[in-house]
Structure 1
Amino acid sequence: MTVMLFCESTGADELRLSNGTGPCSGRVEVKHEEKWGTVCDGDWTIEDAEVVCKQLQCGSAVKALNRAPFGEGSGPTWLYRVDCRGDESALWNCSHTGWGSFSCPHYFDTGVICSGFSGMRLTGGHTACSGHLKVKQEKTWATVCFSHIDFKTASVICNELECGQAVDILRGTHFGDRQDELIWQEEFHCYGGYRLANGSTTCSGRVELLHGGTWGTLCDYLWDLPAATALCQQLDCGVALLIPSGQSFGKGNGSVWNGTFSCKKNGSRLRDCPVSVLGHDECPAGKEARVACSGCPGARLVNGTTCSGRVEIRHGDTWGRLCHSHWNLQAASVLCHQLNCGYAKSIQTGDRFVDGNGPVWRDAFHCGGTESCLWDCAQVTLGNPTCSAREAATVICSVPTGVAEDVGVICSGSRQIRLVNGTKRCAGRVELYHDGIWGTICDDNWDLSDANVVCKQLGCGHAIKAFTSAHYGKGSGQIWLDDVNCTGAESDLWACPSRAWGQHNCQHKEDAGVLCSEFLALRLVNGNDCAGRLEVFYNGTWGSICSNRMSQLTAITVCKHLNCGDGGEIATDFKYGRGSGPTWLDHIECTKQHSSLWQCQSDPWDPQSCDNRAEETHISCTDREKLRVIGGKDGCSGRVEIWHQGSWGTVCDDSWDVADANVVCRQLGCGSAVSALSEAAFGEGTGPIWLEEVHCKGTELSLWDCPAKSLFCKNCDHKEDAAVDCSG
């Protein structure tokens, strides 16, 4: 076992990994005051693991693990709630709560897996720069499985071997027979051979290149936007917005790599832009490669030009197309802006950009048109039908390259529309953006035909109701339109007959509003806010949701959506009654990635989705992770209350002592307990009394880890409510 020694002013501290497969994986242990102890996983992240791996000269972090993956350690908990940036030289230089400040149960011990190789080479090829990748782990050379290598990783490897850029990754035994060789089992991942330094965001800064194992500033006399865009895309930072001038982002203190990118055009991949590293002399002022990227990942245009083509969106590592019927000009304009291509001129139909492979996503982006990134728009999958690849969404932006100017319809561009002051984006007061100012519409002659144009223009279906008399509140500023008289067939509101812009005889108490069919809302009825029969508001009507194929994960997603906590169950006793309206949805399937029910897959909207009322969904939400104190002078003293089954309740003071109070204070981030108070010291609570006879040791991470009698105590009343006073 290799032990690394690091010194600081308080004495000698050491770091090691124990009980792993070698010196570069295992339980994290620290030696302090001549005694070995562990690190508690208060919030253990890959940045924390990166510092450990770097400190032990074990490469980069592959995984940050918690809950004692390499077994429980022993001795003191030396570090708790470590918070590293990732560039610290030693683990104890990261932010933490202080040496030995907290005694943590050893089943929370942290672990890491580092990349762990101390050398690498290519063998079996015709040159030193092709062949099987082998890495050295301790004294053994091992071949790396193809499945562990992606192109970013290959690019880093070629750089570190001083072999230029990666050209290809070949599968199988192209370079000879490997049957007798050890296959290296630990996966590793790289972030690419480039990074941005000293910027205000992770997507801006001075370009640094990893070459020969050393990071240095890239000095590029011919650095331009095509090269910068290729780099932004590799870093998952969207596209290059500009190359900042002068000494932006500083000169850097490390090596300087003189080189030249050779990107032919915007849209090139980084692998198509070879860089020739010429040396490491001083870089003249202002020649350091710099870039400010859009920071909007996961969207592109293909089969056209840089600023026109078929729309593709990335989910995870997979690129897919969008359905044309789920796409509108507002979302297209956001995408054009995101790609630094102006605003959307038109959405093309037909086969112009359609050829391609990959899935067709059901996502619909509901944008107002002013968002910076497509992912800032509301994203809805629920209820959307599937569509074929021939219906793929497309767009031509206002500054396409090599596209005739007479293609498509040029929109006014400077005018925008939105709905405000509703609870969701498809209902609210109608507001128009004109001449740089947002303003409202007068309700004179305002009817369903006018409202229908608004809903259609916003991709919100059709109008359910046209509201008058400032139903969604009074606006302010300009009143842009009056006496609007649409037929309902117009493509946008300003194509309808009306008075001239800004001419009206109205006040803001007459502001117009709309409710569109795709206004969505969710609720639980016949119980309380967090338990009941599940209903969705669609097409102007509340209706039930069917439970076919519904999992507990979907129930949990519903509870999160309703701010009812992180736990939920599908109730089977139908105690919340039967519905009487439509049954709107069936076969809802959510994944862990979904934070809103609208993002989950389902069958299309259908008012008769359920075969019978016995299929209606009943849900009870539970949340063990909410704790608060009420009635004190601040958030660190008061009556202890916990959230359970959709209600706040109290804790009985039977057996309540300073060990119990210590757990509460720590869980609230309020230090340690000054006193454990009883007999409703901060006033009597209301609602259920959820816990009694709490018996904490004082070392638990949360009150839920302590033994107790639970669920609606019968032996107490609110004059016995427990309380705490924390050190703060």
Structure 2
Amino acid sequence: MSHRVLMLFLSVWSSGLWAEDKHASTVPGDYRLVNGGHNCSGLVEVYDEGTWRNKYSEPWEQTEAAAVCRKLNCGSVVSLRRYFNHDGSDEVYRLRITCSESLRLVNGTSRCSGRLEERSNQSWSLVCKDGFQWQEAEKVCRELECGPPSALFGELHREKEAPLGSKELQCPRNESDHEAAVLICSEQQFVKLHMAGASRCSGKLMMRQLINWLYVDEKNWDLKVVAAVCRRLDCGSPVSIRSRSISLKAGWRIKADCDVLSSDCLLFKPSTSVIEITCSDSVRLVNGTNLCSGRLEVQFDWSWSSVSEDGFDQQDAEVVCRELGCGPPSVLQGALFTGGPVWRKGFECEGTESALLACNISAPDRTPSSANRSVQLTCSDPNSLRLVGESSLCAGKLEMTNKGEWRPVVDWELIWNQVSADAVCRRLGCGTAVSANMKKEHEDRPVWWIKSSCIQSTSVLRDCVTLTGLGKSSWSMEVVCSELLLQPTIVTFPNSMEVFRVDQRELQVLLGSSFSIMCYIPAQYQGGYFQLLFTASNAALSYSLPAVNHSAHFRFPSMDLSHQGSYSCIYHLHVFSQDFSSKSQTIYLRVGASVTDLIIRLVVLLLGMTLSVTAICCYSKRLAAKARVQEKTTVICVGGEK
């Protein structure tokens, strides 16, 4: 028997007869692949209760398929497909997995990256970097249904008995340290927009995992995830997400905990709706704190450039914010930028255009005043929150306005916790949350679906909206905040004119006079009571009265030194099964002189003034008489000389 025939025989035996013996196992939980072209391809079955059964559950993901491949001593997952079952059983779907037979990438960040291993004699051995060239790397990536290789390097691998590769690629036997080949294949295009509208950057979202292009349903999507899609498509910033009803036999759903968008984030899942997304064509904000802020870039001739701040004004900024679906510009400034090309042409927008590139464009200035300064723009949040249905702005059902329309807000996972409610209360200036509840309404109505956890981490609520199109629910999210009550007011009422204002916070009450302090609060809830707090240098007292018509009067018959000090009102109310309170500003009352003392002082003052006037008059008369005598004497002397 020739060497070639012998190798062919061994190959058939190892991939066929050996596989059949191996999968004749009766261990519960064991897997096998049937009706495939080789032992590493076929419909998935699992051994359970003494028989082989169809293995399928929702959702099914690539990591589970990879586990099956490992259990069967096969390589990496090459394809994962769902099929309808036509054998008349109750199991509607079946899964077909294809694993690579002789190559795999392990310990990588994705299925298309990792240390390269090959199978020989039913065992896996690492491939050494020495002798493994770029041409072989291209073949490996192609066999694993990945894109072209993007990196190939060696990684030191130490083992007491290092597994050896094939004769051509095996590591030297006399060395304990081996440089294993580490290969990174690029992922093939896995995102596209189908049946796009007026722009290549809008349409129904399709994603590819392995060899399967399928529509993507609406679960777990918000504008932050859409931003990753827009970047993949070389489009601008995300503008909107919409859900479109459609009956799908098979579709993708993105994992809820996927931080980086990739094909590894996808799950098989039947769906009744698909995502339709819109990205801006030629404008985006990058490196900002949210989707409505960052450095402004425009795309022209398939190239992105930062926009120079020269000549870029408020009207231009208004057009950009409108194009990106954000609120009006709140901050427009320039910042030093040296990281790439800069757009130096000027925009002459009137402020009403729908897109920045629809404005008139002027020739670039030959002598720019800020050669390396680009536009940094922050648009305001187009969304606002409110609590409705109660007598306070700080309690009720949560609503949000999006693009001018108010709707109830519902978490897409029907989760509403204290932490998210705290974030809402802080946004409304209502303190912290004391309760957060989900409530079932009588019927479905249009709602805004959000990720409530997003409210905790972003300043722009637009980032948290998961769907802005079709969406109805009978649930509502309720919150009660700590600063539920308005601030009460404290007022001092004197008898006649016995209280004198010293300044805005201090009053003087005459000794012995009667006075009263009134606490009141604008009408919100019935009931409750007022507490009047008094503090002095040597005393602290408290008085309480029920709230009648939202007020209470505390009367004092005679002012004395024991009443001098600070006063404030606290309103207490039990509502929503919670105790709430609100405190007024503080005033200070000082003891003044009594009425008798004032009269005596007034008489003395008048008597003193009378005596002063009399003395002045007498003194004036003496001065006048003296002047007349002197005048008469002068006349006589002059006459004698004559």
Does TM, normalized by the shorter one, top 0.5? no
Q: Which has the higher strand share?
A: 2
Per the shorter chain, which TM-score range?
Answer: 0.3 to 0.5
Q: Which has the higher helix share?
A: 2
Q: Find the structure with the greater CA-based Rg.
A: 2
Q: Which has the higher contact order (CA 8 A, sep 6+)?
A: 2
Normalised TM-score (structure 1): 0.36
